[in-house]
Structure 1
Amino acid sequence: MALSYKTRRRLSLLILLLGLPAYIGAVWFVTSLFDRPSIVVELLIYIVLGILWALPFRAVFRGVGKADPDAPPSSEDR
């Protein structure tokens, strides 16, 4: 089932405003349970986890920054 442009836009805003801070808090909590590794390993962990959170949402974020493809052309586009 394909999501409309407006739905993807609203969902991406919800993910960025609520989901991303919750994910950051969860990662921060889980990493605080272990002894602190060296700075290079810690940086690598945060880089990998920073990329992993976005992979499931690629379809939602794709094309959200562009103009609505379903909108009728305005007088400025002509």
Structure 2
Amino acid sequence: MALSYKARRRWSLLILVIGLPVYAVLAVNLVALLPVLPKFLEFILYVVLGTAWAFPLKFVFKGIGQVDPDADDNS
């Protein structure tokens, strides 16, 4: 089931405004639960967690910055 352009725009806004801050708080709390790690390992963990959210949601964000393909060209 493919999402329409408008639905993807709405979902992307919701994900960026609400989902990403919640994910950031959860990621920081997850790292805080771990025993004391060397700084470079902690940095690598933050980089992995900071980019991991985007891969499963890539289909939502793909093409959002483009012109609506379903819009009429007659303006």
TM-score by length of 2: 0.91
Moved over 6 A (4+): none
**How far did residue 74 of structure 1 move?**
4.7
Matched, 1:52 2:60: no
Identical aligned pairs, as a percentage?
A: 48
- CA-based RMSD of the aligned residues comes to 1.2
Aligned-pair CA distance for 1:36: 3.1
**Which amino acid is the alignment partner of residue 32 of structure 1?**
A
Gaps in structure 2 of 5+ consecutive residues: none
TM-score by length of 1: 0.88
Verify: 1:13 aligned to 2:13, yes or no.
yes
Unpaired segments of 5 or more residues in structure 1? none
Length, aligned pairs only: 75
The CA deviation string for residues 30-68 of structure 1, in whole angstroms up to 9 with x for no partner, is 111123322211111111111111111010000001110
- Equivalent residue, structure 2, for 1:62: 62
